[in-house]
Structure 1
Amino acid sequence: MNNRVSRCAMFVTPTKPRFIDKAWTRGGDVYILDIEDSIAPAEKERCRTLIRESIEKASKGGASIYVRINKPFVDADLPYAVWPGVDRIMLPKTESAAEMQHAHEIISRLELERGIPPGTIELSPMIESALGAVNIHELLTATPRKIWSQGGATGYDMAVNLGIEMFASFDQYAFPAAYVALAAMSLDIEATGGVFVPNTSGRVDQGDQAARQAAALHAAGIHHSGALHPAFIQPLISGLTPTEEEIAWAKTVVEAFDALADAGESVGQIDGKVIDKYERDTAKRTLDWAAACAAKDAYKARALSRAEAG
């Protein structure tokens, strides 16, 4: 299974059986078992005990499983969150390398105790404050564990920390989001996060809004998105998967440039469009991503068939 394909990572609440029991039928690439903001303080202890059974239920359709834990309760949360079948731990509001190192050490111990190959579970710092954004490079290099940059320095918590409006007529997150993305790219870590979409309502159940979001992400070269409602799943997956036309054009570009290279040339044209190494590299990335999406979709289809067969 290709765990890096997370065109739609949907948050689900372990304490809501109707969400968990139906998750595998929704077709999401990833389900995030959320024990942080969506869980009331009085419910957190009970929620922890539901994580292990939720992993098996939510992943039946081939989705990857992430767990978002609580920053103040890392020591209490991780023993309930680290199990076979979990692909990533999301560490909210991360601000220091020490926090990353502490989480890494606990995960490493639990992997060893529970028969999980060392380093299997990825660790993702969520950038949700000015301090986290400023310290992004040290967060991403704090441990030898595979790291993903998550959160993108956007969203509600970042807005609260910066004292800004979450929904505005301009991109108020432009600088911190770009800073975090550049830091990730400098370390060859694929950046995730949001992009500015004008006239956003803030509603979480509008599929047309998801399609607009996917188009904006696609244009920005971002392949991953989160969701809070099942209505977002298919529009995001469809919008972040290369189309047949895009795949055909990418193949044409790669073949044309390779033919140019064989002839000792470095620049050419197709229908008046310049073909050079930049275009060839871009096309190759499109083909690689299309292949990863196809592999993920095939894996999910096989898993869904097995689950439906009982």
Structure 2
Amino acid sequence: MKPLRTFMFAPGSDSKKSDKVLTLGADAVILDLEDAVAISEKEQARKVVQETLLKPRGCKAYVRVNSISTNFFFDDLEAVICSRLDGIMLPKAESAEDIRMVDWLITEGEKKRGLPPGQIDLIPLIESAAGVYRAAEIASASPRISRLAFGAIDFSLDIGTTWSKDGNAFFYARSQLVIASRVAGIEAPIDTVYPEIKDIDGLVEECRLVRSMGFQSKLVIHPGQIEPVNKVFSPTPDEIAQARKIVVAFEEAEKQGLAAIQVDGKFIDYPVAMRAKKLLAIAEALGM
């Protein structure tokens, strides 16, 4: 399966932007019914999203519905569940109970439309202190959850701070999502948007930071962010060459009864060899 490195938002109420986002090279798009849509446009946005989901695309298509605490949530879910929907992003996810209820509703929607059970993915968007605190139980609450996503803008508002480039206020939250994902046995999480769309250097620096923490993808909000993010979350040629060298050397060592060797002066054991194999699998899935 091809790794999903970029999740690009598009306002669900704007048919031109929703159509265009399908062609920009993101691994997945998120048609937004929540923050990007004015209250007066919610109903019309559902119709636009329905039409957009039916159009040809070369990427995954998700819909961010409104939170379950709003009057829009149930109508959003009813409107968008269909065979062309890859998944739902649930904003402001804060408890396992929330997830189980949404899971049940999606399951009923699948039954109603004759879809295979569990076909629709669910991505909880963690963007509050409560969500971070309960990240592990949220991540484990439904088998249809593939990964978590972090929303730093709302999180910073909730904890009384502001978004900043250094990301110091988010270190704990990001670490929690990585650990919770591993405990639940799901994919590594998606990092938050980078709001300064003209600061590509800052975006790249942040991507490198969160990749080193255990994230494997990022939410993006501008077409110019797609290529830099895809590049950071893809193995480099040097990484691929080194991984191949490690795998070959370690397999040869195993044949000789050895489980600890050196490659280019670096200690290699089973965890390092497994990491190298995983990187090669990602590279192969990306056609590298």
2:270 to 277, 280, 288: 277
**What amino acid sits opposite 2:136 in the alignment?**
H
Q: Distance in 2 between matches of 1:120 and 1:61?
A: 18
| TM value normalised by structure 1 | 0.85
Distance between the aligned counterparts of 1:229 and 1:195, measured in 2? 13
* Aligned counterpart for 2:35 among listed residues 34, 37, 42: 37
Name the residue aligned to 2:180.
183
1:161 corresponds, among 143, 158, 161, to 158
RMSD between superposed Cα atoms in Å:
2.1
Count of aligned pairs: 285
Looking at structure 1, the residues matched to 240 and 226 of structure 2 have their Cα atoms a distance apart, in angstroms, of 22
Amino acid at match of 2:200: G
Q: Aligned to 2:210, what secondary structure does the other structure show? A: helix
Q: Partner residue of 1:138?
A: 137
**Following superposition, which runs of at least 4 residues in structure 1 exceed 6 angstroms of deviation?**
none
| Aligned residue among 218, 232, 237 for 2:211 | 218
Q: How far 1:93 moved relative to its partner?
A: 0.4
Structure 2 CA distance for partners of 1:50 and 1:187, relative to 1, 3 Å: same
Asked if 1 retains the 8 angstrom alpha-carbon contact of 2:34 and 2:64, the reply is yes
State the percentage of identical aligned residues. Answer: 31
Structure-1 separation of matches of 2:286 and 2:52: 25
In structure 1, how many angstroms separate the alpha carbons of the residues matched to 2:82 and 2:253?
A: 51
Alpha-carbon displacement from aligned partner over 1:242-297 (angstroms, at most 9, x marks no partner):
12221121111011011111101112122222222122011011012112222xx9
How far off is 1:55 after superposition?
1.3
**Gaps in structure 1 of 5+ consecutive residues:** 298-310
**Equivalent residue for 1:27?**
25
Name the counterpart of 1:306: none
Following superposition, the deviation at residue 24 of structure 1 comes to: 2.9
- Tell me which moved more, 111-120 or 32-41: 111-120
Name the SS for the 1:274 alignment partner. strand
Larger relative contact order, structure 1 or 2 (CA cutoff 8 Å, min sep 6): 1
- SS in structure 2 opposite 1:172? helix
Distance in 2 between residues matched to 1:53 and 1:102, nearest whole Å? 27
Per the alignment, residue 70 of structure 1 pairs with: 66
- 1:76 maps to a residue whose letter is D
Tell me the secondary structure at the aligned position of residue 15 of structure 1: coil
* Alignment partners' CA distance in 2, 1:221 and 1:141: 18
- The answer to whether 1:194 aligns with 2:187 is no
Aligned to 1:48: 46
More strand by share: 2
Q: TM-score, normalised by structure 2?
A: 0.91
Deviations 1:153-211 (A, max 9, x none): x4111011101111164511122221232122112122314389xxx8x4124433333
